[in-house]
Amino acid sequence: MTKMREVAVPEDEEDYADDERVNRAIRKGLMSSKTVRQMAEETGLKPQDVLKKKTEILEGVDVLTIQEKRALFMMELSDMSREVRERAGRTVDEYYAGMINASTGNIKLMLSELSRMEKADSAKVDSLNQKRVAELVSLIREVIDVSVVEIAARHSLDEQDLFEIFNRRMGEAAQKRDMQ
C-alpha cells in the first residue's frame, strides 16, 4: 500500500480550483494518462476530489475554442520550461546544458507560436477592415445613385451633371485622405 504524502490542503473544497500546483499536476496527469489514484498521491488530495477536478478540466476542453486550446498548450509549455530551468539549477553540470537546451527549445516553440497567432490575428483584422471599407463604398454609391436621380427629377436638373459633381467631390475627398 502506498503512503499518501502530507500536503497542506485548503479546508474549503472550492480553494482547490485556485491551487495552481494541483491544477498543473492534474493537467499533467491527464496528458500522461496517469490514473486518478496516482494523481491523488501526487497532489495529496482524495481520489474523489481529483476525479471531480479531472472531470471539470475535461468538460472545459469540450467547449474550448482553438485559440483557447493553444493558450492551454502555451501555458503547459511555459510550465515545462520553468520546471526545467528550476531543475537545471539543482542538477549536476553534465546534465545542465541539456536541460537548458530543452528549456530554450520550449521558449522558441512558444515564441514562434505566439508570432504565428499574432500574424493570423492581424490578417483577420486586415480582411475584416477591407470588407468594411467595401461595404461603406457600396453603401455610399447606392445612396448617391438613388439620390442623384431623385434630385434631378425633383429640381429638373441633368442627372449627368449631378453625377459629375458628386464624382469630382468624391475624388477630391479621396485625394485629401490619401495625403493625410
Q: Where are the domains of the chain?
A: 1-63
pLDDT interval class at 158 (50, 70, 90): very high
pLDDT interval class at 5 (50, 70, 90): very low
Task: Compute the average pLDDT of residues 54-80.
Answer: 69
pLDDT of residue 7: 42
H helix and E strand count, the chain: 6, 0
pLDDT digits (tens, 9 = 90+) for 39-51: 888 888 888 888 8
pLDDT interval class at 69 (50, 70, 90): low
CA dihedral 34, 35, 41, 42 (to 10 degrees): 20
Cβ(70)–Cβ(113) under 8 Å? yes
Cβ(166)–Cβ(144) under 8 Å? yes
pTM for the model stands at 0.37
45/42 Cα distance (integer angstroms): 8
Q: What share of the chain is helix, strand, coil (3-state, %, to 5)?
A: 85, 0, 15
